Structure 1
């Protein structure tokens, strides 16, 4: 799936003649186009931070969201905001599917473009990205739901949940997994699965003392790459 996103971002970069970056709706980096140094550098402080840390600061998010990008259905041009660390103008292509926003494609704007026809072509690619992200979100929702059932039930209910979880994991169902628990967990929601490499599902569970703990199903990457038909669960 990661390769699919990279190919689509590269396609947009080729269409517009400028490197693009793709972020999810929470501003987590998914993929970015190749950056070449030149007389007009394609990197600025915000883009560099995004690539290195895979996310954006709260100030940058607030500035961008203030231009209605979550509701937009077409390209949005956003001016620079030095106070927020945004030193270059931006073009945002909202990535949508089924009326919902799933992410954003970002480009640095310039006086030479991109042109309206170029942006229209790029939006068609963004729509394809939106379809992929929507499918991925649906699969993650199913995996999280069944994972929660698997770690909170027993006997036949747990067996049923594990079978449903295997189905939700799809082609990776026979890989090796482990469950990690973090307690106490301060938030009501788990971190987005995309932010934690290898995460297949995550949920927040109550503790006996009234607190919260985080449970994460992690796909283990082995040195040999040999899958194992093992699904570990922590009770």
Structure 2
């Protein structure tokens, strides 16, 4: 699926003549066009940060959203704002599916030589195909969240066996191999993106405390814990491991989630 996004972003870059960047509606990077220009300004701080950290800063997000991009159905030109960390203007192409915004394609904008209306219209046609892909991903993530939640809340015995079988079917080939379960509790707010912890196969929130199976002592000690609190949610992530010794990266990422959870 990631390759499909990259191909579509490259198609937009070719249509408009400038590198394009695709982010989801939470401003997290999905794909970006190649930078093959000698103009260092093409890699301005906002684009560099998005590529290196895979997300935009809150200040940049607030500046962009202030121009109504969450409601827009066509290209939106956004001027530069050094105060917000935006040193070059942008053209935002909202990515929608059935009226719902699912992401944004970003183009650097030089109003004097930037892409004209016909090129932008062609690029918007491509964003509709991106929207179809994003909608499929959103549905798949929701299905996986439902199946993982069912496993974690099922009673022991046949009910859990059926839930595990359904989760394995939903995971497909990615369900093979070693996995570990990471839990962060309490967890405020909505589910984070899958990329918050590398290798995440499925994630969900559920009431805390929840009837989850006890982890072996070795696995339990490897996972950071936030301080529990009644009446809150817990975040559970099923994470693929490259090897039995591959917990270090997962532990570090889980620690970051604990910090963000407070």
Per-residue CA deviations over 1:135-185 (Å, capped at 9, x if unaligned) read 011011000011011011122222222222123223423343221223x33
Alpha-carbon spacing, 1:48–1:39, altered in 2? closer, same or farther (3 Å): closer
Shift of 1:214: 2.1
Show structure 1 runs of 5+ residues with no match: 224-235
* Map of 1:131 onto structure 2: 132
State the partner residue of 1:233: none
Q: Offset of 1:48 from its aligned partner?
A: 0.9
Q: Distance in 1 between matches of 2:46 and 2:186?
A: 29
Number of the residue aligned with 2:113: 112
Q: 1:23 and 1:181 mapped to 2: Cα distance?
A: 27
Q: What is the RMSD of the two structures over their aligned residues, measured on CA atoms? A: 1.8
Q: CA deviation at 1:100?
A: 0.8
Equivalent pairs counted in the alignment come to 222
Structure 2 residue matching 1:61: 3-state secondary structure: helix
| Larger helix proportion of the pair | 2
Match of 1:156 in 2: 158
Matched residue SS, 1:52: helix
Q: 1:19-98 alignment to 2 at 5 Å? A: 19-39=19-39, 41-98=41-98
Deviations 1:163-222 (A, max 9, x none): 22123223423343221223x334232311133322122123302751543210112235
Distance 2:28 2:122 in 1: 24
Gaps of 5+ in 2: 211-228, 245-262
- Return closer, same or farther for 1:102/1:37 CA change in 2, 3 Å cut-off: same
Deviations 1:65-96 (A, max 9, x none): 11111111111111111110011110001111
Residue 213 of structure 1 corresponds to 234
TM-score, length of structure 2 as denominator length: 0.79
Write out the 4+ residue segments of structure 1 that deviate beyond 4 Å after TM superposition: none
CA–CA distance in structure 2, aligned partners of residues 188 and 25 of structure 1: 16
Task: Name the residue aligned to 1:230.
Answer: none
Report matched runs for 1:194-209 at 5 Å: 194-205=195-206, 206-207=208-209, 209=229
Shift of the alpha carbon at 1:36? 2.6
User: For 1:85 and 1:164, how far apart are their aligned partners in 2?
Assistant: 46
